[in-house]
Each structure stands twice: as C-alpha cells, then as structure tokens.
Structure 1
Amino acid sequence: MGNTEKFEMIADKYDTPERIQIAKVSSNAIREYVVDAKSKSAIDFGCGTGLVGMNLLDDFSSMLFLDTSQNMIHQIEHKISGSNIQNAATLCFDFEKNHLSDLQADYIFMAQVLLHINDIELILSRLYETLNEHGHLLIVDYNKNEKVASDMVHNGFDQTELAAVMTKIGYREIQSKTFYTGSKIFMGQDASLFVLDSQK
C-alpha cells in the first residue's frame, strides 16, 4: 500500500491529540451504520495504530487490525496486550500486492486509508471478495479538495464518483454524507470528511 515507509517511521509518535480526536468522530460516524453486530466480525483495514478500531471493539465479536506497516501493527499489539483485549487480532499484509482468499468479515471499515491507495478499484474489488454476503464496507475519507496537491496521496474523493466505481464492482445500497469539517486537517488545508456505507 502507498506510503508504508513513511508510516513505519512515524508509528511510535502517530497518536497525536488531533489524530485521536479525528479517530473519535470517525468511529462515531461509522457506528451509525453498524447494526446488531455483537456477533459479527470486523476488519480495521489500513488500521494504523488502531485508533478507530479500538473505539469500535465493543461493537463486534471480533476485530482484525490489518496494515502494511509492521511498526504500526506493533503499536496495536502493545495496546491489545496492555489492555488484555481478547477479541482482537493483527495482520501485517499488503492487499495491493497479494490477495487473501481465506480472509472473510461481516464489516470492513477504512478511515483515511483510500487516499493512500494507488489502485483504488483493485483494493475495493478485493475487499468486496473479502466481505461475507450482505457484509458492509464503510469508508471514511476526505471530500475532494482542490487546495491539496500531493504526489503521495489523492486529494480526496467525490462521493458520487466513488459510489459509481463501487456500484460497478457490485456494491449496493450505497449511502454517504459529510460529517466533519476541520481546520488544517488535510495536508495543512481546511477540509471535510465523509462516511460512506455500502453492502455486498
């Protein structure tokens, strides 16, 4: 996945007050679409240090924290063992390079992950295959922002265009909304975040 090396370097100082706050509002936005999931499995895809997934642990029976950065995974493992959490596991894996045919989940969520992914359609297709029937993929990311110019990340997404790509893959009942606006939160620019819910 894009920018893994960068994340390897910042893993141990990733949890800033700003990132913790954004993770909290992102978790709350995701939770709105999580229904009767106490017996369901979830994957926090591109989990970083697990800030979003940790907030949602109690909503699911089990959670897999998945990231391409081994150092990020180490951070989560410390949190899991430090809090004696029983329903969480970790996996260091790159979906852009390989596919895990035996991995399945009822819910997959990705918060501020898609903007780092080069081949969006490939990843969304692989996640579709990973979902159980009627499973949900939830995406939190930035709305398209013309002020952001970067070689490292996409400058956000148009919700309608993203939904069209996902419909082509097979996702259905797609709904999305903007839920948060913040100052200087995206590459030093003011920006807004949306949440998108879709079903297999």
Structure 2
Amino acid sequence: MERKNFDTVASTWDEEPRRVKLAADIGAAIRDAVPLSADWDGMDYGCGTGLLTLDLAPALHSMVGMDSSQGMVDRLTAKCAATGIQNTRALCCNLEQGKLSAGPFHLITSAMALHHIPEIVPLLTSLRRLLHPGGWVALADLETEDGSFHDNQTGVFHHGFSREELEGFLAQAGFTSIAIRRATTMHKGERVYSVLLAVAINP
C-alpha cells in the first residue's frame, strides 16, 4: 500500500484545532501514567510538527522529535528556533529502514503514528532497543474504528487497534508492565473516536 506524503501537509498541520487539542490531551494522559523526570531524555516517534514533543519537553531534560517526513521535521525545527526552546531537536529518520543516531532514551512516546506503520512488532522492538533498561514507552493511537476516521486511506495500514492487540504487540516486542487506558476522545463531524494510551517498560 502507498505511503502518505506528509511533507505536503506539514505547513498547515497545526491549523487544525482538534489536532492541537489531541496532542495536549495525550500529553496530559502521559504525564498521568508515567513518572516523568527532569533527568530523562525522551524521543517522540512520528513527531510531526512536534505538538506532543513540545508539550512534554518542559518536563524532561531533553527531547528528540523524530519523523520520516523532512517537511514535518523542518516545521518542528523552526518552532524551536522561533520560541527559543533549547532542550529539543528534530531528526529526520525512518526507523523502519535504519538505526536512529541518538539515544538511549528514558522515554519514547508516539501519538497517532502507529496506524501508519505496516508491521508493528518490528518497530516496537526497535524502539525498545533505544531505551535504557527500565525505560518507558507511551504510545497513543486510535482504538479500533470502522475506517471512517480517515477521509483519505493512503498510508493507513490499520483502522485503529484493540486493547488486546496493543498489549500483544508490546509483549511480543519484549516489554513488560503493560497498561492500556483511554487517553481521550476525538470528534470528527458527528463521530466520536476513542484514543488509547499504551504504556510499558523495557525490563
């Protein structure tokens, strides 16, 4: 299946209020579920323009926003420069194709990126290798939906995930202490979609 070209939407991505609200809601859910520390180095996988990255950065020692879209990475870099944020940087990298030249991390987050990944377990295994022992992942994505969330299905490989699927993926990738909760809901038109947050630890 064809991948979506996120470079084409990077410049206007933040103009959608529900995306901004969703990132803030996910950030709040992560802060509630994970004992964040000012000593931690974090990485936000599939960071886009950095809405979640920048939401969590003040609570951490450092934050890397990583995305395979150069356009998205450029937007995050520009936002950091414009606001004088010192502890955050953006990297363009596709973890499905190679290693990330950063880490290890105490925390890896992701918001609404997993459904764009064909094979989940290999990705989660790669993420776990980037974590310190005892490090956390906090991954937010759609709960299973009927395919109506995306108007354009290009690059959509999963119509959300069930709690059981997420738990199974994380266990197969070697994570422990897996916990899954509802992070928030997202309204699109007349529909309401549930967004799950899965947290787990690299033993």
TM-score after normalising by structure 1? 0.91
Residues 36/121 of structure 1: CA separation in 2 closer, same or farther (3 Å cut): closer
Give, in angstroms, the shift of residue 151 of structure 1.
5.4
Identity of aligned residues (%): 28
SS of residue in 1 equivalent to 2:33: coil
Confirm or deny that 1:155 pairs with 2:155: no
Structure 2: segments with no counterpart, 5+ residues: none
Could you tell me which residue of structure 1 aligns to residue 184 of structure 2? 180
**Following superposition of structure 1 onto structure 2, how do residues 47-62 of structure 1 map, counting pairs within 5 Å?**
47-62=47-62
One-letter amino acid matched to 2:129: E
Q: Which moved further from structure 2: 73-82 or 158-167?
A: 158-167
Q: 1:96 to 1:22 in 2, by over 3 A?
A: same
Q: Secondary structure at the match of 2:48?
A: coil
Aligned partner of 1:152: which letter?
Answer: G
> What's the CA shift for 1:179?
2.8
1:131-170 matches, within 5 Å, as 131-148=131-148, 150=153, 152-153=155-156, 154-170=158-174
| Contact 1:50–1:65 under 8 Å retained in 2 | yes
1:189 to partner: Cα distance: 4.6
* Alignment TM-score, normalising by the size of structure 2: 0.90
Output the aligned Cα RMSD: 1.8
Q: Does 1:193 align with 2:192?
A: no
Please report how far the alpha carbon of residue 43 of structure 1 lies from its aligned counterpart in structure 2 after TM superposition. Answer: 0.2
Gap regions ≥5 residues in structure 1: none
Q: How many residues align?
A: 196
How far apart, CA to CA, are the structure 1 residues paired with 2:61 and 2:104? 14
Amino acid at match of 1:73: V
Q: Aligned pair in 2 of structure 1 residues 98, 4: CA closer, same or farther (>3 Å)?
A: farther
| Separation of aligned partners in 2, 1:101 and 1:129 | 12
Q: Partners of 2:141 and 2:55 in 1: how far apart?
A: 17
**Does residue 113 of structure 2 align to residue 110 of structure 1?**
no
Matched, 1:43 2:46: no
In 2, are the aligned partners of 1:42 and 1:62 still within 8 Å (CA)?
Answer: yes
